[in-house]
Amino acid sequence: MATTMSAAVLYGREDVRIEQVPIPRAAKGELILRVDAALTCGTDLKVFRRGYHARMIVPPALFGHELAGTVVEVGEGVANFATGDRVVALNSAPCGECYFCRRGQENLCDDLLFNNGAYAEFIHIPARIVAKNTLHVPDDVPMEHAALTEPLACAVHGFEDSLPRTGDTVAVIGGGPLGLLILHVAALAGYEVIALVRHDGQVEAARRLGAAHVVQASSISKAIRETRALTQQNRGVDIAIEAVGVPDAWQEAVELVRKGGTVNFFGGCATGTHVALDTNRLHYNDITLRATFHHTPSICRKALNLIAGGRFQAGAFITGHAHLFELNRVFEKLMQRSSEIKTAILP
Ligand SMILES: [Zn+2]
Ligand SMILES: [Zn+2]
């Protein structure tokens, strides 16, 4: 058997190199997977552009975190998995012992263990992720669909955290992969969704994924007016979920909701960003502000069930395929804001 593999290594800003590195080996409690499909992600694109991620990755490092793969090596003591099993290994696992884990907020774990390295032929899965956040993929689910578990878990988390009530109208700002996932989750759950998108290619995708209305306005003030006009007496939406991660969109979200409405700041802005908000509007209109980060093990299971359930249009999110060696080109294309949603990277 070969001892080296091709893998993407992140060195810094817009500097990812495909290199030969040793194939990892499984120690006690660990797994080695052959990567069957890895997906590009807005977070990876951000990391590619900025050269780091505050919580997830410090270069030089293996790169990529949405994947499904086949078990090729099983460490001592692993009982639930065998060679040949098809699995999704999530990109993190909580400790289970800290204050936040004990309160069921495992996404905020003080010791969240992250794993990267999906853009490679093989990936090492640490014992804690094997124990807590590695899931069997049902036979009839294609691996590239299963690889959507991680971003979908974030989307499901963001939607549930917004505490939707039957009959609510939900506005989702942003037509990127996460915006589209959130709107699809909301539409599948039976909510009326208004998608606010920027680019032509996103209009069609939003409609296809279940948005009742798509607002594509040339300015933010127009988008706010058009969205409110879609609600009775212009009162505003019940829930606005921001999935862009820029200050303008955070402010826009606050302007979209009705009295008593809920805003979810789902998109993470660059470190050090501050946003100005109208305190009178927040206070006298009784507006709830929430923010959702990441996912928990139970939500990851929910996400994979949703993918396996048949109604979720996994195929619509994967708009291209590329070989690992083309990764740089793929990211450059994604930076140009094409109509691509996610590209499956096949090693
Ligand atoms: Zn991701
Ligand atoms: Zn913890």
Closest ligand relative to 95 C-alpha:
2
The CA 278 to ligand 1 mean position distance, Å, reads 32
In the reported structure, the alpha carbon of residue 258 is separated from the centroid of ligand 1 by a whole-number distance in angstroms of 31
Find the 124 Cα to ligand 1 centroid distance in Å.
Answer: 18
- Which ligand is closest to the CA of 93, given by its number? 2
Tens digit of pLDDT for each residue in 137-164? 999 999 999 999 999 999 999 999 999 9
- Tens of pLDDT, residues 87-104: 999 999 999 999 999 999
Nearest ligand, measured from the Cα of 303 = 1
CA of 86 to the centre of ligand 2 (A): 27
Distance from the CA of 95 to the center of ligand 1, in angstroms?
A: 21
Three-state secondary structure of the chain: CCCEEEEEEEEECCEEEEEEEECCCCCCCCEEEEEEEEECCHHHHHHHHHCCECCCECCCEECCCEEEEEEEEECCCCCCCCCCCEEEECCEECCCCCHHHHCCCHHHCCCCEECCCCCECEEEECHHHHHHCEEECCCCCCHHHHCCHHHHHHHHHHHHHCCCCCCCEEEEECCCHHHHHHHHHHHHCCCEEEEECCCHHHHHHHHHCCCCEEECCCCHHHHHHHHHHCCHHHCCEEEEEECCCCHHHHHHHHHHEEEEEEEEECCCCCCCCCCCCCHHHHHHCCCEEEECCCCCHHHHHHHHHHHHCCCCCHHHHEEEEEEHHHHHHHHHHHHCCCCCCEEEEEC
- What is the predicted pLDDT for the residue at 54? 64
Q: How far is the CA of 97 from the centre of ligand 2 (A)?
A: 5
Taking only the tens place, the pLDDT of each residue in 5-54 is: 999 999 988 889 999 999 999 999 999 999 999 999 988 888 888 877 76
CA of 32 to the centre of ligand 2 (A): 24
Q: Is the pLDDT of residue 62 over 90?
A: yes
Average pLDDT over residues 104-109: 97
Identify the nearest ligand to the CA of 128 by its number.
2
> Any idea which ligand is nearest the CA of 98?
2
102 CA → ligand 2 middle, Å:
7
Which residue would you say has higher pLDDT here, 303 or 59?
303
* Mean pLDDT for all residues in the chain: 95
Mean per-residue pLDDT for 292-317? 97
C-alpha 143 – ligand 2 centre gap (Å)? 29
Task: Tell me how far the alpha carbon of residue 105 lies from the centroid of ligand 2, in angstroms.
Answer: 8
Q: How far is the CA of 134 from the centre of ligand 2 (A)?
A: 17
258-275 tens-digit pLDDT = 999 999 999 999 889 999
266 CA → ligand 2 middle, Å: 21
Ligand at minimal distance from the CA of 295 is 1
pLDDT > 90? residue 340: no
User: 184 falls in which pLDDT band (50, 70, 90)?
Assistant: very high
Per-residue pLDDT, 111: 96
- Give the per-residue pLDDT at 327: 94
User: How much of the chain, in percent, has pLDDT values that exceed 90?
Assistant: 87
Q: Is the pLDDT of residue 221 over 90?
A: yes
Give the Å distance between the CA of 100 and the centre of ligand 2. 6
Ligand 1 centroid – CA 215 distance (Å) = 25
Q: Residue 91 C-alpha to ligand 2 middle, in angstroms?
A: 15
